[in-house]
Amino acid sequence: MLEKLCVKNFAIIEDLNVSFDSGMIVLTGETGAGKSLIIDTISLILGARADADMIRYGCESARVECVFTYDKSLDSLLEKYNIPKGEKINILREIFDNSKNVIKINNYSVSLTILKAIATRLADIHVQNDTYRLFNPESYLAILDPKEDNKFNKLLNNYSIELYKYLEAIKEYEHVKDGQKTALERLEFLQYEKEELEALALEPNIDIELEEKIAKLSNYDKIFSSLTEAYNALENQYDPLDKLYDAAKMLEKISDFDSEYQDYSEKLMDSYYISTEIKDNISKQISLLDYDEDELNGYIERLNDIAKAKDKYKKSVNELIEYLKKITLDIEITTNYEEVLKECDLRCQNAFNSLASSSKLITDYRRKLADKLSAGIIKECRDLDLENTRFNIEFNNVDYSNYLNKSIFNETGVDEVSFMISFNKGEPLRSLHKVASGGEMSRMMLAFKSYMSKATNVSLMIFDEIDTGVSGSTAKKIANKMYEISKNVQVLCITHLPQVAAIGDFHKHIYKTEINDRTTTHIDDLDQTRRVEEIAMMLSGDKLSVYALEHAKELLKR
């Protein structure tokens, strides 16, 4: 759960330190006081993008820090990203006016991607625009799919592998098919290029090897002279190698008297054998050394031919080798088109069948999830003054008859889902996004959040005016539902409804002051007396009435 929030120089917040307890915490205040700013700061901690415009006017940086209760379920995630464990989870974000952004978890610098991965395990946040997700059918699959389900994630991983294989097979098939016409037109030209490149007998780095051979033959006299002199130096009348050998033997005779003599002897003997081997190799090199002007001219001519090809094709030797492979394949495709296309077609069929099987497993799993979700949402709706609600999740029909139709597949399968609902008896099921009013949509979103709270590991749920568009007895039922959620998960709720404000375990009031022409947001913890007054103000408006105060007391008693 969230234990502490510290904010400095964020928008109209100058310096704020807020502590939170478990249970249901309500935040109230006048419009413009800064309630949404509190949500913005927590959103920043949970991975929202930072912007230099968030910095308080006249300041160089803004700082937001949150302390969360540590949960052992985070162990593997922290270990994965090498984040040190502590008694708490401390998340810090700093924004600078030069757009620099610092993110730290337990004093360890992390990326925004890592922060988001951690944050999804800490909290679920509902901001005012989130309700409109239910008006967007494209978001339904993301709502249905579980976030922490190893079996489902394994199905998705297997599907991704099969999807890659299938798309590669389709790409090859399309290349062969589309390239047939072009290849026929270019066949004669391709064959000419193929013969030209094959005549060069290209090998990797052949140009470098030829340059070395040319340099060696061009410097024949110098090489022969140096090798001969080196050999003569090792093989003269004084026989220096024999002297090395003799010295080693002499020292060996006295090695019993001092270990260093033995060491000298061994080193001299090593030098003798190495030098002897070098002398023999030089002798072989001299005997093999031969100057052939025709050979030299042949190397030069071949290197020139390769240089011309490199310049003509604007490619290196290694790139020319790959290009030769490509045009050879293109020629083969053209001359053996039917056979090659048949092979590609077969690969597409096999890849399609494997992918289709994988996608059907995902669909079957989703259908089971959909049945559970539908039953759960109906139950939640009963508690939210939507007693006659019927809810069902419908899946699209997928046509698997054309194995070349890649459009039926997307990154997570083949499924498209529709949320179908009826709020009234005798009415047929219709698309949720077409029939729900604003108040109904708010309650539906709360129903989804309530159901999901039982299926996730988050310890904090944040609601920013999820009660918009409702009043009266419905408002009371929404309040009860949020309070029910707070029995298992810490709930932080911004509300304009007195019924919701009254049911919270704790009540914080957000307000702003103007001092020296600067506006600043503050938060106060309300005691019972001030809480009665705040709820009474929410009931009656600017003026406190005796009736409003009594009504507020009654709401708090419940």
Instruction: State which amino acid sits at residue 485.
Output: I
Residue closest to 164 by CA, chosen among 294, 30, 354, 391:
354
Query: Which has the higher per-residue pLDDT, 307 or 287?
Result: 307
Among 117-121, 254-258, 325-329, name the most confident range. 117-121
Query: Which has the higher per-residue pLDDT, 384 or 99?
Result: 384
Residues 42 and 175 placed together within one structural domain of the fold: no
Helix (H, G, I), strand (E, B) or coil at 30: coil
Confidence label for 208 from pLDDT (cuts 50, 70 and 90) = confident
Tell me the mean pLDDT in the region 251-273.
75
Q: Single out the residue in 338, 371, 404 at which a domain terminates.
A: 338
Q: Give 147-158 pLDDT, tens digit per residue.
A: 778 899 999 999
Q: Is the pLDDT of residue 333 over 80?
A: no
Query: Which has the higher per-residue pLDDT, 283 or 415?
Result: 415
For 64, counting Cβ atoms within 10 Å of its Cβ (0-12 exposed, 13-18 middle, 19+ buried), the class is buried
Residues 552 and 488 placed together within one structural domain of the fold: no
The pairing of beta strand 390-395 with beta strand 123-126 = unpaired
Query: Which has the higher per-residue pLDDT, 395 or 339?
Result: 395
Q: Is the pLDDT of residue 295 over 50?
A: yes
Tell me the mean pLDDT in the region 228-236.
67
Residues 183 and 328 placed together within one structural domain of the fold: yes
Confidence at residue 177, expressed as pLDDT on a 0 to 100 scale: 81
The span from the CA of 451 to the CA of 495, in Å, is: 21
Confidence at residue 546, expressed as pLDDT on a 0 to 100 scale: 87
Q: Is the pLDDT of residue 238 over 60?
A: no
Confidence label for 133 from pLDDT (cuts 50, 70 and 90) = confident
CA angle 371, 375, 376 (to 5 degrees): 115
Confidence at residue 156, expressed as pLDDT on a 0 to 100 scale: 96
Q: Give 513-525 pLDDT, tens digit per residue.
A: 998 889 999 999 9
* Token reading at 474: 């419905």
Rg (CA), the chain: 40
Q: Give 66-95 pLDDT, tens digit per residue.
A: 999 998 888 888 999 999 988 899 999 999
Secondary structure string (H, E, C) spanning 437-450: CHHHHHHHHHHHHH
Query: Which has the higher per-residue pLDDT, 324 or 165?
Result: 165
Q: Is the pLDDT of residue 558 over 70?
A: no
Query: Which has the higher per-residue pLDDT, 121 or 182?
Result: 121
Residues 302 and 191 placed together within one structural domain of the fold: yes
Q: Give 442-464 pLDDT, tens digit per residue.
A: 888 899 989 888 777 788 999 98
Residues 80 and 181 placed together within one structural domain of the fold: no
Q: Report yes or no on 136 lying in a domain.
A: no
Tell me the mean pLDDT in the region 125-140.
78
Query: Which has the higher per-residue pLDDT, 257 or 194?
Result: 194
Residue closest to 355 by CA, chosen among 166, 156, 152:
166
Q: Report yes or no on 230 lying in a domain.
A: yes
Tell me the mean pLDDT in the region 161-190.
83
Confidence at residue 111, expressed as pLDDT on a 0 to 100 scale: 94
Residues 556 and 510 placed together within one structural domain of the fold: no
Query: Which has the higher per-residue pLDDT, 471 or 505?
Result: 505
Least confident of 112-116, 324-328, 417-421, 508-512: 324-328
Beta bridge partners of 395: 417
Q: Single out the residue in 338, 358, 388 at which a domain terminates.
A: 338
Confidence at residue 259, expressed as pLDDT on a 0 to 100 scale: 73
Confidence label for 237 from pLDDT (cuts 50, 70 and 90) = very low
Confidence at residue 527, expressed as pLDDT on a 0 to 100 scale: 94
Segments in 54-93 forming alpha helices (H): 75-80
Residues 226 and 302 placed together within one structural domain of the fold: yes
Its pTM stands at 0.66
Residues 175 and 102 placed together within one structural domain of the fold: no
Chain mean pLDDT for the chain: 87
Q: How far apart, in Å, do the first and last CA atoms of the chain sit?
A: 26
Residues 310 and 178 placed together within one structural domain of the fold: yes
Q: Is the pLDDT of residue 314 over 80?
A: yes
Residues 188 and 103 placed together within one structural domain of the fold: no
Q: Report yes or no on 485 lying in a domain.
A: yes
Among 230-244, 261-275, 342-356, name the most confident range. 342-356
Confidence label for 128 from pLDDT (cuts 50, 70 and 90) = low
Residues 184 and 79 placed together within one structural domain of the fold: no
Residues 49 and 99 placed together within one structural domain of the fold: yes
Q: Report yes or no on 433 lying in a domain.
A: no
Confidence at residue 71, expressed as pLDDT on a 0 to 100 scale: 85
Q: Is the pLDDT of residue 268 over 80?
A: no
Query: Which has the higher per-residue pLDDT, 351 or 384?
Result: 351
Confidence at residue 541, expressed as pLDDT on a 0 to 100 scale: 76
Q: Report yes or no on 203 lying in a domain.
A: yes
Q: Report yes or no on 441 lying in a domain.
A: no
Q: Is the pLDDT of residue 113 over 60?
A: yes
Domain that holds residue 552: 527-558
For 201, counting Cβ atoms within 10 Å of its Cβ (0-12 exposed, 13-18 middle, 19+ buried), the class is exposed
What residues contact 192, with CB distance under 8 A and at least 6 apart?
none
Q: Single out the residue in 338, 357, 381 at which a domain terminates.
A: 338
